[in-house]
């Protein structure tokens, strides 16, 4: 397979607010993913994506087995606004991230901005995560964060989210949150399993399901998506887009937030 930029754009995918352990210097992207000593690091540039195609872990991470061309075609043929959003950033894909890491990161994300989220997540990894053989710190385990003193968590910049992170970690340890269930259960049951935790509301739950469990039917409604849906889709919810609504959501979110169409600011790099 020859991966074109229309099939995978590192910038569009990695900076669309779905993952937080990512950086770019002089066109070289660094991506880290995984918990504790299982963390992996990828260094890659847009003009040579072969390391992704040749490594099963990263092929899966970037979801290469899923046909985004077909989804974009379906969206574009049925909604003129979707056609614009798909043309605006055709290289977006939904990453297959570690479920626990994604859930915890989106708990951090509430009432927060992406730059700060990235900093907090990095400090959590450096302070609490175990390193792999290359010395890269992984995302800390649920056990580690459940056991961490709240003031040590807060030192990472979590603010009022410190207890939310602990609650979430504890729920995972106790089996009240079970990722196998989240991936297979009825979507409403999965949502309830998540929102039972104090600190996880409907938006964070949907992000955890879409970005951490690859539940493509989930359609996180943040302030940007509410504006997009109100302005261009007669106030409908995501169900109009069908079983892959979450993918439509990501194209619309990125378009609405960074194109200036809604009067939004351009995303800083």
Q: Which is nearer to DNA, 36 or 215 (CB)?
A: 215
Q: Give the DSSP H/E element, type plus range, for residue 42.
A: strand 40-44
Q: Which is nearer to DNA, 36 or 71 (CB)?
A: 71
Q: Which residues bind DNA (CB under 7 A)?
A: 16-18, 109-117, 154, 157, 159-160, 195, 197-205, 207, 211, 220-225, 249-250, 253, 268
Residue 245 Cβ vs DNA, minimum distance, rounded to whole Å: 11
User: What are the φ/ψ torsions at residue 45 (nearest 5 degrees)?
Assistant: -120, 155
Residue 262 Cβ vs DNA, minimum distance, rounded to whole Å: 11
Q: Which is nearer to DNA, 125 or 204 (CB)?
A: 204
List the structure tokens of 132: 């792999």
Calpha distance 103→200 (Å, rounded)? 9
Beta bridge partners of 44: 29
The yes-or-no answer on residue 203 being catalytic is yes
Residue 161 Cβ vs DNA, minimum distance, rounded to whole Å: 8
Residue 97 Cβ vs DNA, minimum distance, rounded to whole Å: 12
Q: Which is nearer to DNA, 139 or 164 (CB)?
A: 164
- From 130, 183, 203, 266, the catalytic residue: 203
- Which residues, including other chains, have CB under 8 Å from residue 49's CB and lie 6 or more apart? 3, 8, 10
**Reduced to 3 states, what is the DSSP secondary structure of residue 40?**
strand
Burial bucket for residue 65 (CB in 10 Å: 0-12, 13-18, 19+): exposed
Q: Tell me the catalytic residues.
A: 203
């Amino acid at each position: 397979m020859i991966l074109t930029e229309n099939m995978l754009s590192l910038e569009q995918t990695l900076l669309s607010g779905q993952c937080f352990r990512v950086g770019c210097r002089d066109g070289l992207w660094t991506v880290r993913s995984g918990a504790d000593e299982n963390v992996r690091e990828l260094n890659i540039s847009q003009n040579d994506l072969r390391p992704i195609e040749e490594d099963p872990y990263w092929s899966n991470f970037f979801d290469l087995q899923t046909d985004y061309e077909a989804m974009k075609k379906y969206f574009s043929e049925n909604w003129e606004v979707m056609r614009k959003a798909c043309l605006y950033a055709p290289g977006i894909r939904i990453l297959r991230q570690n479920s626990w890491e994604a859930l915890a990161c989106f708990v951090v994300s509430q009432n927060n901005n992406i730059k700060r989220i990235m900093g907090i997540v990095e400090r959590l990894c450096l302070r609490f995560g175990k390193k792999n053989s290359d010395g890269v710190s992984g995302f800390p385990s649920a056990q580690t964060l459940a056991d961490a003193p709240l003031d040590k968590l807060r030192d990472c910049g979590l603010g009022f989210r410190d207890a939310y992170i602990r609650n979430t970690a504890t729920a995972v340890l106790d089996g009240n949150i079970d990722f196998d269930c989240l991936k297979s259960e009825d979507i409403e049951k999965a949502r309830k399993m998540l929102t039972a935790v104090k600190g996880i509301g409907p938006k964070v739950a949907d992000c955890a399901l879409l970005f951490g469990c690859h539940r493509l039917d989930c359609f996180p409604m943040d302030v940007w998506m509410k504006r997009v849906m109100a302005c261009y889709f007669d106030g409908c919810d995501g169900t109009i887009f069908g079983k892959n609504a979450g993918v439509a959501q990501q194209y619309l979110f990125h378009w609405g937030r960074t194109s200036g169409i809604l009067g939004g600011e351009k995303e800083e790099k």
